[in-house]
Amino acid sequence: MVNLVGRHLISPNDLSLEEISTIVALGQNMKRNRADYAELCRGKILATLFYEPSTRTKLSFESAMLRMGGSILGFSDASSSSAAKGESIADTIRVLASYADVAVMRHPREGAPKVASEYSTIPIINGGDGGHQHPTQTLTDLITIDTYIGRMENLEVAFCGDLKYGRTVHSLIETLARFPGSRFHLVSPEELVLPRRLKEHLTKIYGCELIEYRRMEEALPHVDILYMTRIQKERFFNEADYLRLKNSFILDADKMKLAKQKMIVMHPLPRVNEIAYEVDDDPRAVYFQQAELGVYVRMALMAHQLGVANQ
């Protein structure tokens, strides 16, 4: 029996596969029967502790709590908070924990939400800590895969773009690796390949099959999921390399012709230019639905943490 009451969520690894499936299933049910859950969190308060701005994540969490009839409070900028006055995370959280029933923390420092969880009397959700973890993005990706593919195992998944610094990619690939039978197609410029340590971890611990490509076209025909990420200009040593490489990692209608009829294109958003606007009309492009599903999976997560999921 899955019990997440009072639990923190710092990394996707904090959740067993059964717990992930349970959260995703509740999220699906909430999407189908939203009205049934409109009063589920009446009287509950979500604190949004954003030590750096992230409008999307913050609004997604706020929407999730408001859709369950709860309330929200918080801050979205460290300069207006006590952190600017040099207060420790431990002190801040010990006070704020009495103001709310669950909290999401976004922090530029890696490990900050873990610190908060050690002093908090209410569940802490990591809303992104530097380049480290962002577990509700992973849950968002998983509910999207569940919605459009219908399973989380035996998948052919391509990850394309910045695989070196892409936190969302690292978390998702490691979580999918825990489910059996998937194969990962890694498409990136040589400068931005998946870190060696993560590759070793995936192959040694989970026995994953990893296939590397330099061109998207080679991977596209094989996959059920194409997970696109943004390549930031700053990641390149010089402008010439960036210009030379960036087109190989842009998805357009022509490249989509190489993909299977039944496949999906995902993206954590915001997109810049790595997916041409013409792809948006393709029924296989699900990145906007992905953002919507993120609200439902956050609703499901918080309902479980607050102990109201089975009401």
Partner 1 sequence: MIEVASIRRGLVVDHITAGKGLLIFNKLNMASLNCPVVLLMNVPSQRMGRKDIIKVENFTEIDTAMLGLIDTKVTVNIIENEHVVEKIKLAIPHEVKGLFPCGNPRCVTNIDAYVTPTFHLHDEANCSYTCEYCEEITKVEIR
Binding site for partner 1 (CB under 8 A): 11, 88-91, 107-112, 114-115, 129-132, 197
Give least dist CB 139 to partner 1, A. Answer: 19
For partner 1, give the closer residue by CB, 11 or 290.
Answer: 11
For partner 1, give the closer residue by CB, 131 or 221.
Answer: 131
Give least dist CB 193 to partner 1, A. Answer: 18
Strands 45-50 and 183-187: unpaired
For partner 1, give the closer residue by CB, 67 or 132.
Answer: 132
Give least dist CB 83 to partner 1, A. Answer: 9
Q: How far apart are CA 143 and CA 158, in angstroms?
A: 17
Give least dist CB 85 to partner 1, A. Answer: 13
Q: What is the DSSP string of 185-217?
A: EEE--GGGPPPHHHHHHHHHHH--EEEEES-HH
Give least dist CB 243 to partner 1, A. Answer: 29
Question: How large is the angle between the packed helices 17-32 and 287-305, nearest 10 degrees?
Answer: 110
Question: Is residue 157 within 8 Å of 176, Cβ to Cβ?
Answer: yes
Q: Report CA dihedral (199, 205, 208, 209) to the nearest 10 degrees.
A: 60
Burial zone of 303 (CB within 10 Å; 0-12 exposed, 13-18 middle, 19+ buried):
buried
For partner 1, give the closer residue by CB, 53 or 131.
Answer: 131
For partner 1, give the closer residue by CB, 47 or 105.
Answer: 105
For partner 1, give the closer residue by CB, 14 or 212.
Answer: 14
Question: Is residue 55 within 8 Å of 63, Cβ to Cβ?
Answer: no
Give least dist CB 158 to partner 1, A. Answer: 26
Q: How far apart are CA 292 and CA 1, in angstroms?
A: 28
Question: Is residue 303 within 8 Å of 309, Cβ to Cβ?
Answer: yes
For partner 1, give the closer residue by CB, 90 or 205.
Answer: 90
Over the Cα atoms of the chain, what is R_g? 20
Which residue in 229, 225, 190, 184 sits closest to 206, CA to CA? 184
Give least dist CB 260 to partner 1, A. Answer: 36
Q: In sequence order, which residues have a C-beta less than 8 Å from that of residue 238 and are 6 or more positions away? A: none
Give least dist CB 91 to partner 1, A. Answer: 7
For partner 1, give the closer residue by CB, 197 or 262.
Answer: 197
Phi-psi bin for 154: left (phi > 0), alpha (psi -120 to 50), beta?
Answer: left
